[in-house]
Amino acid sequence: LIVHRFIAVFGDVLIREAINVTLDLNKEKFNFEGSSIKEAGWTKLYPYYQSRDFVFPDVFSGEMLNVLEVYLEEKETQPPKKFSPASLIKELETRGLGTKATRADILDTLYRRGYVKGKAIEVTELGVSVINTLGEYASAIISEELTRTFEEKLENIREGKESKESVLKEAKSELLKILEDLKEKEDVIGANISNAIKKSETKKTLGNCNLCDGDLKIIKSRKGDEFIGCSSYPKCRNTFSLFTSMGVAPTDKTCVECGLPVISTSKGKYFSCIDPKCKSNERRYVIGDCPECGKDLRIMKARKQFVGCSGYPNCRTSYPLPQKIGVLPTGKNCSKCGLPMISVPIGKRRLLSCIDMNCKSKEKYLKKKAA
């Protein structure tokens, strides 16, 4: 693959032939378009390239066509595709917001402050509340135009088109107006944002800490991983690891075995005690028998999620698992090697997979993926 790609860099230009046809049916316009490869160019050297070629109809300009059928097709409009981190940074660039050096930091700040979440970016309730409050009481501070203008002026300074002094003078004048406006309305702005933060924090609170008077909450580490910790940190260092970050939400239930809070995962499909070591979770994370010693193989988490033997350290049998997704036991065994099968989320579906990444049962899937 790497060799073919390198050689293809030196190949000829790929030339495509395009067609755009407009049909006039009783003054109603209908369009269709398509393209196909005319000269393969560098793709001759790169067999992995896949092209969706359009088969051109045999038509010419001014030709009269017969209408063979008219039917009504009912469809629903689809919402725009959600931004990913990469596509959002591209959109910021298109709109002239931020610089190459700052756009990634802007996005990181949005995640860190809890304004957005997920790889398919969703704005949180806190993010909506903050932007609505500022839009109502201090719209200038969230103005794209203001940000874009100053970005352009910074570029003008770099190119020598404007002096630093004149830009600073203008910026000072604009920012003083904004700050005066904020000062006049700081009480109502502060109250609205404070309420939004409290509401957001309440949704992350799972229940009372079992070691102190604090609250157990879902916390995000600097690396982006989520875990359960006490709000009284650093006085209380009580923590619990999360086996999944898929739709973790608080419930009003407590564990019948230990009294700790119960959480729901996968949008309310599953419920479990927050303590992975609790007896109520023992069977939940057991996926089968260890092939070496016969003890339980369990879904575990240290720094990473993996399958390990409950007989550790006497038995060190282990298998790696996909990270940051909700892996579940199935009670089934692989037909090829006899090891336990797990359920892994793939998009909106779940895939049954052997825990051994080198199992022959995966060969068919890997060949299909490579093709």
Strand order in the sheet with 261-265: 249-254, 261-265, 270-273
Q: What pLDDT sits at residue 315?
A: 92
Q: What pLDDT sits at residue 368?
A: 44
**How far apart are the C-alpha atoms of 78 and 299, rounded to whole Å?**
38
Strand pairing partners for 249? Answer: 264
Amino acid symbol at 260 = L
**How far apart are the C-alpha atoms of 28 and 5, rounded to whole Å?**
46
Q: What pLDDT sits at residue 370?
A: 41
Q: What pLDDT sits at residue 304?
A: 78
Q: What pLDDT sits at residue 371?
A: 41
Among 92, 108, 110, which Cα is nearest to 100's?
92
Q: What is the pTM of this model?
A: 0.50
Q: What pLDDT sits at residue 366?
A: 40
Mean pLDDT by 10 residues, the chain (371 residues): 84 87 84 84 83 74 82 81 90 86 88 84 88 87 85 87 90 88 88 84 80 86 77 89 69 85 72 80 77 87 81 89 76 87 78 83 49 41
Residues with Cβ within 8 Å of 125's Cβ and at least 6 positions away in sequence, in order, are 196, 199, 200, 203
Q: What pLDDT sits at residue 246?
A: 58
Q: What pLDDT sits at residue 283?
A: 62
